[in-house]
Homo-oligomer: A and B are copies of this chain.
Amino acid sequence: MSEVQAAQVASIDLNKGETANEDLVDPWNVQSSSATGVDYDKLIVRFGSTPIDDELIQRIERVTGKPAHPFLKRGIFFSHREMHKILDLHEQKKPFYLYTGRGPSSEAMHMGHLIPFVFTKWLQETFDVPLVIQMTDDEKYLWKDISMEEVKRVALENVKDIISLGFDVEKTFIFCDLNYIGQCPGFYQVIVQIQKHVTFNQVKGIFGFGDSDCIGKISFPAIQAAPSFSIAFPQIFNGRRNIPCLIPCAIDQDPYFRMTRDVAPRINLPKPALLHSIFFPALQGATSKMSASDQNSCILLTDTPNQIKNKINKYAFSGGQATVEEHKEKGGNCDIDVSFQYLKFFLEDDQKLEKIRQEYTSGELLTGHLKKELIGVLQQIVGSIQEKRKAITDEVAQEFMTPRKLKFDY
């Protein structure tokens, strides 16, 4: 039974008698009825992936000789597929590459969008490997009521935001589908190979497409799958067709790569490995994902220090009690407090985070204190990105987007 079939069967099993409690997680929707958000343990069973356990984290530290990223230790990247194989390769000094991406739906990226990129940057530096970043501007054109010119403009803005995180131009290739597919016959040829080996029935089962969906949506999964194969980048990887790929992404993107892993052996190419992250919660709470289309649900990379302060103070859902007295007596709930959740993502100091957790849980600290701490952290991160962003001209972006051999020994 393939991973795709297993995931479908598991999904049917889990649906029995508990449909009402089931979280909705696919590339276009993330919804949970629980205040603590999506049940990730159940999701691992449903998707058929493997939990990231202490053993794997320790092996990553052993193999790389570096401490694991906080996202690993704090359970933000919580699930994987075949990460041990990637570590085997690294131990054997054999190459692999990283692939991640973004659907450029809104001009201003939000903090949630940063998660895969922050982690990917750490992977790139820690393993010293090349990276390709796909901007699915074609996807956004197909799914949204937006013109092609506008989606191309937004994609370029997003590319500049991503570059601002500090990627190494010598080891990073960023591409927008609407341009790159028309720049590289090898990329289109891989897409067609994938499209030959996936039926409408399969994408219906995996993505829920229906008969009234446009044929662009129906064939799109092959386009997100294609960068999983090094042969799609002949100039980048010197024509090597079998360099394995590791994909860090949020768990909602897994359906694309379950499909990719199913197709890979049939077109004689290696299956990509995966590292899955949890979702970044909206300011209003963990029941839904942050969305840049609702500006009050998220902190944008374009927000001023004052906007950050006001949004956190006004909207960040509190896990504290109704009155100070009650809070001091019963304590706060870190599992639903959005400020604490955000600190878990962005406060680097492990000891400080643990201290805040204990003192908030005991009732010693009020939500106001957590908000103040978070505002400082976010203002610093966003400010630093905005500062770097100023130097990212069209020329710099063009450099990242030029197909070329990356600095790496294949």
Contact = CB atoms under 8 A, between A and B. Distances in A.
Interface of A: 138, 141-142, 148, 178-179, 181-189, 192-193, 195-201, 203-204, 209-216, 218-219, 221-222
B188 A215 contact: no
Given A182-B184, A200-B215, 6 more contacts: A181-B185, A182-B187, A182-B188, A195-B216, A200-B200, A218-B219
**Shortest beta-carbon contacts, A-B, top 4:** A182-B185, A195-B216, A219-B219, A182-B188
A193 B216 CA distance: 8
B197 A214 contact: yes
A391 B382 CA distance: 65
14 contacts: A142-B192, A178-B185, A188-B188, A195-B215, A197-B214, A198-B214, A198-B215, A199-B211, A200-B209, A200-B212, A201-B211, A203-B215, A204-B211, A216-B219
A113 B204 CA distance: 38
B192 A216 contact: yes
Contact of A212 (B182, B184, B196, B201): B201
A316 B201 CA distance: 45
Contacts of A204: 211
Contacts of A138: 192
A259 to B, nearest CB: 10
Nearest to A178: B189
A148 B189 contact: yes
A215 B211 contact: no
A199 B182 contact: no
Nearest to A219: B219
Contact of A181 (B181, B213, B215, B218): B181
Given A148-B189, A193-B148, A219-B218, A199 B181 contact: no
Contacts of A200: 200, 209-215, 218
Contact of A182 (B183, B196, B213): B183
A185 to B, nearest CB: 3
A142 B189 CA distance: 11
Contacts of A209: 200
A141 B195 CA distance: 11
A192 B215 contact: no
Contacts of A183: 182-183, 185
A60 B216 CA distance: 39
Nearest to A152: B189
A184 B181 CA distance: 8
Given A141-B192, A142-B192, A148-B193, A212 B199 contact: yes
A178 B196 CA distance: 14
A213 B219 CA distance: 12
Contacts of A181: 181-182, 185, 188
Contacts of A148: 189, 192-193
A194 B195 CA distance: 17
Contacts of A222: 215-216
Contacts of A179: 185
Contacts of A203: 215
Given A200-B212, A211-B199, A182 B189 contact: yes
Nearest to A142: B196
A384 B216 CA distance: 45
Contacts of A196: 141-142, 214, 216
A221 B182 CA distance: 18
A215 B218 contact: yes
B192 A178 contact: yes
